[in-house]
Amino acid sequence: MPLNQDSLPSRDIRDKLIIGLDLPSVAEARAVVDRIGEAGTFYKIGYQLAYAGGFELARALIAEGKKVFLDLKLHDIGNTVEEGVRSVARLGATLLTVHAYPQTMRAAVAGKAGSSLKILAVTVLTSYDDNDLIEAGYAPVSAAELVARRAAQAREIGVDGIVCAATEAERVRGIVGPDRLIVTPGIRPAGAEAGDQKRIVTPAEGIRLGADHLVVARPIVKAADPRAAAEAIVREIAGA
Q: What is the pLDDT of residue 1?
A: 45
Q: What is the pLDDT of residue 4?
A: 53
Q: What is the pLDDT of residue 185?
A: 87
In the residue annotation, 112 being an active-site residue is answered as no
Q: How many domains does the chain have?
A: 1
The one catalytic residue in 67, 73, 112, 198 is 73
CATH of the domain at 26: 3.20.20.70
Q: Which of 65, 27, 33 minimizes the C-alpha distance to 49? A: 27
Question: SS3 of 117, please?
Answer: coil
Domain that holds residue 47: 5-239
Q: What is the pLDDT of residue 224?
A: 96
Contacts of 111-114 with CB under 8 Å at 24 or more apart are 111/81, 111/82, 111/83, 111/84, 111/85, 111/86, 112/85, 112/86, 112/88, 114/89
Which DSSP symbol is given to 53? Answer: I
How confident is the chain (240 residues) per 10-residue block, as mean pLDDT? 64 96 98 97 97 97 98 97 97 97 97 98 88 92 90 97 89 95 84 51 89 94 96 92
Characterise 37 by phi-psi region: left (phi > 0), alpha (psi -120 to 50), beta (else): left
